[in-house]
A and B are shown apart, each in its own frame.
Chain A
Amino acid sequence: MRTIDVDARRYIWCKGQAIWRTSMPLTALLEDLRGALADGQEGLVRHTARNIGTNCAVVLNLVVRHRKPLPPARMRAAWALEGVAGHPLGGDCLTLVRSPRELDAAELAGIAERLISGVRELVGDVPDPMSPDGYFPALATARDWLKLADSVGVEGFLPREWTSEEAH
């Protein structure tokens, strides 16, 4: 048995967010990255790699440092990179967010692939919701974490636009 050395509400909120972000946004970004690289869409590669850098830094903050709340989207890169400055994967996050011109699209994509693999090792196995075989398992995983969040009375992690009444 292992004691979770973080308050249960904080741990569940952070881990649920991390699993969601690894499952849905990061998988979608990886798909964008690969498709863009194959079709020579340099702008999409650069933009997606930037997003991957930010999202991976956010996930690392969640699973390694249990930081909450998440700041607004415009501050997330700065917030997350500051939090992972000393982490072994922090350098790759920063490189992708900076998106230096000396690195071409293929090099940025290589760093992004490596970074996502590293982050997935930390978060654990998450089903791929973008594949026919992973869609329902991904939903089931999300549902289980939402139940866990509900059990300790913390807010879930689904996008507000999926859950708010006014969006419909």
Chain B
Amino acid sequence: MSGEEEARWKRVDDRLHGYHGVGLADVLDCVGYLREEGDTVIAGGSLAWGLGNRLSDFDVVIVGAGTSPSRVPLEHWVKTLRVDAWTRSHEGVARLFAHAAEALESDAPLQGSFGTQEEEQQLKLLHRLAFGLRVDGPPLEGVDLAVARGLLAREYAERARESVLIARLALDAGRPLAATTNARLAVEETLHMVLARRGVPFTGDKWLQERLIGTAPDLRVHHDRFSALPEPGGEAAFVEDALALVAELGGRDSGADGAAWSAPDLVLHSPGGREHFLVAPGPGGMWELSAEEAQTWRGLSERDEWRDCSKAETGLLVGLYELGLAGLAWDKGVK
């Protein structure tokens, strides 16, 4: 262990003792049953990065030659400290980083292939392995810091691109809440992208403000300016200002270029010609359309691809996207 690693080990150990009266050795004892001789234990949650608090759990990843991957975090308790353990094999780690390297080389968009926006599981795992604290065992092979950093920056650049587009389209479609929540999201995603490019390890969306205070105070003012949604009437200015900031920080505003809508599971029925129902047999639901909306849908149905849509088509598609009935796919990733 290098001097720097030892110092970090001690800082985390002291913090755990201060909060819970237990240390890293106790954590290792607790998860010992999951380990084979020579396995590596990495701590990688907020506490390992100097964030977290007395109620934070302690995330560890156990990696070994023949370790079976855990599908869910395995929960343990060491006195009052909750320890969530993930297990992975050397091969699984190598595969994850190879997959990430390939994705970075490719022109194709990532589009959630490293975890959903809600869970961020694979993204977090990559960063835990790359930037986490090695608590015990040999250093991991095949872990590439540049790949972990590059993937995170790209993932957030792609998310921000979509947030920018949706914010703009939702504003035009008269959906102010969707517009402002996506504008705020675009700012935050862009800040994550900037942090990743500066080499700051990813800790999940929730720690953004604390991360900015600790590692990028120059960016905090941007975060604070858009953290609260505007009062009614101020939505358009809020969205425009947010999108201008995103562009200034290096985010992408490519409009709808390279984006295509789809809604493959929807079918329009107009019994008697007077009522119009959009039916989704998969999710098992139906939505009533106005005569104008039904006409717009028929126009869309006659086309193979939904690009360069008219205002009426875009308005309908944004509404369906908000209901989880339409999707948006991009031809290329953000490189």
Contacts and interface: CB of A to CB of B under 8 A. Distances in A.
Interface of A: 7, 9-10, 31-32, 34-36, 38-39, 41-44, 46-48, 51, 68-75, 77-79, 81-82, 97-101, 129-130, 132, 135, 159-163, 167-168
Contacts of A36: 53
A129 B69 CA distance: 21
B285 A162 contact: no
B163 interface: yes
B166 A47 contact: no
A46 B209 contact: yes
Residue of B122, B185, B228, B280 ringed by the most chain A CB atoms within 10 A: B228
29 contacts: A7-B284, A32-B55, A35-B53, A35-B54, A36-B53, A39-B54, A41-B210, A47-B205, A47-B206, A70-B324, A71-B321, A72-B324, A73-B116, A73-B117, A73-B118, A74-B166, A74-B182, A75-B166, A75-B324, A77-B177, A78-B170, A78-B175, A82-B177, A97-B229, A129-B75, A159-B118, A160-B119, A162-B72, A168-B92
B119 A161 contact: yes
Contacts of A48: 206
Contacts of B55: 31-32, 34-35, 38
A158 B159 CA distance: 23
Contacts of A100: 228-229
Query: A interface, by DSSP: helix, strand, loop or mixed?
Result: helix
A111 to B, nearest CB: 14
Given A39-B53, A98-B229, A78 B119 contact: no
B324 to A, nearest CB: 4
Interface in B54-74: 54-56, 69, 71-72
Q: Which 5 A-B pairs have the closest CB atoms?
A: A43-B209, A35-B55, A71-B324, A78-B178, A39-B53
B181 interface: yes
A136 B178 CA distance: 38
Contacts of B117: 72-74
Contacts of B322: 71, 75, 78-79
